[in-house]
Amino acid sequence: MSSEREPVPHFIRNIIEDDLKSGKHQSIVTRFPPEPNGYLHVGHAKSICLNFGLALDFKGRCNLRFDDTNPEKESEEYALSIQEDVRWLGFQWDGGVHWASDYFDALYGYAVELIRAGKAYVCDLTPDEMRAYRGTLTEPGRNSPYRERSVEENLDLFSRMKDGEFSDGSKVLRAKIDMASPNINMRDPAIYRIRRAHHIRTGDQWVIYPMYDYTHCISDALEGITHSLCTLEFEDHRPLYDWVLDNITIPCHPRQYEFSRLELQYTITSKRKLNQLVTEKRVSGWDDPRMPTIAGMRRRGYTPAGIREFARRIGVSKSDNVIDMSVLEGCVREDMETSVPRVMAVVKPLKVVLSNFVAGETLSREAGFHPNHPEFGSREVPISREIWIEADDFSETPPPGWQRLVPGGEVRLRYSYVIKCDEVVKDVAGNVVELRCSLDTETLGKNPQGRKVKGVIHWVSAEHALPAEIRLYDRLFTVARPDGDKTRDFHEFINPESLSVVQGWVESCVQDSAPETRYQFERLGYFCTDRHEHMPGRKWVFNRAVSLKDTWTKETP
C-alpha cells in the first residue's frame, strides 16, 4: 500500500496509545468479523480501514474472521468476495482466515461449562412465549418455567439437542442471568438454538448453532484480540459480551469499544435491502456500479486509495456519522487527479468535416498523458478529414458567455488547430447532423495572428478513434435518506436517471488497456474500463466513476 496521509486522532486511537504506554498490552490485535451473507458495503469499508489501519499503525495484527453461525444465509461466494474486497482495499489479514466454525467444539465445551456452573439451562418455551416472558423496556421479564431444571437434566437435554433428538426450534439453551435486568439483552438470552441447515464448512455435522453474542466474544478471546471494535448498535450488548467471558475459564478478556456506523446519503447500507435490489433485478448484481458495495465501487472505478482517504477523512466517533456522497466522490476525484492519464473521448458525437484537410500535409501533434507527470509518457493525437466533437460544444443560439462553437465562430481543437464553422447541415426534422468547418493551417501549436480564440474543445479523429460503450452513472436514489421515511418504500426513491448508456468514441491510444484501467476523459470526468465486459481489441466499455467536479447539488432541486 502506498503511504497515506497522517492519521486523524480519535478516541479509539487514544485508548490504544494509552494501553500501550501503560503496559496493559505489549502489542494490539484487532479483527474484522463479517458474516458471509452478502457483499460488503461502504460501511464495512470504514470498519476494514479502522481495524486493519490501526493494526498497521501500531505494528500489531488484524484477523479476518467469518461469523458463520447462520448457515441458511451464508455462502462460499460471499466469503470469497469479502476476502477479495479486503485485499483490493490494500490490506492483508494476519495468518490464515479465521472462522467462528473453527471454534464450534470449544463453544460447545464452554456451554457445557456454563451449564455445570448453573449459569445456563435448556428452555422449551416457543419463540412467541419467550417474547412474552421477556417483558418490555418498562416492565421486567418473568422467569421461564424451565429455568430451575437441574444441572444433570440440562446436561442431558443439551447433549440430546446436539445429537439431533429434538425438532428445530423446540428447545434453546439460555444463559441464566437476570430477567429483571434493565438491559433486555441480559434477560436470559438464548446462546444455542436447534437448526438443521447445511453449513458451508461443517456440512451436516452440527444441528445446533451458537448465537452471535455468545460466539463473538469467545472467538475474540480465543484469538487474543485486545480491542474488539464494533458499531454503536452493539453497545447494549457489551454487558453480555463481558458476562460470558467472566463466567467461563478462558485466559483472555478482550474489551469491546463502539463507534458510530457510517450513514452515507443517497444510498442504503442494509444488507437485506441491498439483497432486495439484486433479487428484484433493480440493479445488475451485487457489483453493479451504482451499488454502495465495495465490489460495486471497484467496478465503477473508485480507487482503493480514494476509499481509504474517505475513511480517514470522515473520522471515528460516537456521534452521528451522516456523510454526503460528495465527500466520497471528492476523495476518489482527488486521488485520480494526480494518478491517472488523460485522454480525449466524445460521448455525444457530432460529425465535423474539415473541408481543407489535406492528407499528408495536415499535421498531428504529440501530447502528454498528464501535464504534471511527464513520466506518464505521451501519444500522438492524430487528425483526419472527419472528426467527432461533443454535440454540447455547438450551439446555433448560444447563451451569454458561450465560448464554444457557433455558426461562423472559431474554437481551438485541443492539441490541434483552430477551426471555423462554415456550414451547418441538418436532417429533414431540422436536427443538426454535421458541421462543415475549415481549419487554420497556421495555428498548430500557436495562436492565430490578429485575433483571439477563447474556446478550446475536445475531439477525436473519426478515422482513428475507437467505438466505445460509455456508461454514465449517477446516484442510485433521488433523496438523501431513501430509507428514512418509514411510511414509504425505499424503492419509490430509485433514480430513473442513475444509468444512461451511450455509444461514443475514444482515442485509439487506449485500445490495449486492460480491465480496470482508469483515465480522465478531458472535460468529461474520470472513467474506468469495465472489469468484466471490457475486452481489449474487441469491445471497449468505460464506466464513469465521478465527474470532474461535483455537479449534483447544482442540478438537483
Say if residues 545 and 301 touch (Cβ distance below 8 Å): yes
| Alpha carbons 395 and 397: distance in angstroms, whole number | 5
Query: What distance in Å separates the CA atoms of residue 375 and residue 269, rounded to the nearest whole number?
Result: 40
First to last CA, the chain: 40
Q: To 10 degrees, what angle do helices 304-314 and 42-57 make?
A: 80
Identity (one letter) of the amino acid at 399?
P
Dihedral Cα 507, 511, 516, 518, nearest 10 deg? -20
Q: Which residue bears the cell 478482550?
A: 254
Residue 8: closest CA among 304, 332, 315, 323: 315
**Catalytically annotated residue among 61, 174, 193, 271:** 271
Give φ, ψ of 327 to 5 degrees: -70, -45
Annotated catalytic, 261? yes
Pairing of strands 541-546, 525-529: antiparallel
Q: Is residue 129 annotated as part of the catalytic site, yes or no?
A: no
Catalytic residue list contains 263: no
Catalytic site residue from 261, 282, 313, 351? 261
Cα distances (angstroms) measured from residue 257 to each of 55, 212, 242, 486: 15, 17, 12, 30
**555 backbone dihedrals φ, ψ, rounded to 5°:** -90, -20
Integer Cα distance of 176 and 235 in angstroms: 21
At 513, which amino acid appears? Answer: S
Helix locations, 267-303, DSSP H: 271-279, 294-300
Instruction: Give the integer Cα–Cα distance in Å for 135 and 121.
Output: 19
The residues annotated as belonging to the active site are 35, 261, 271
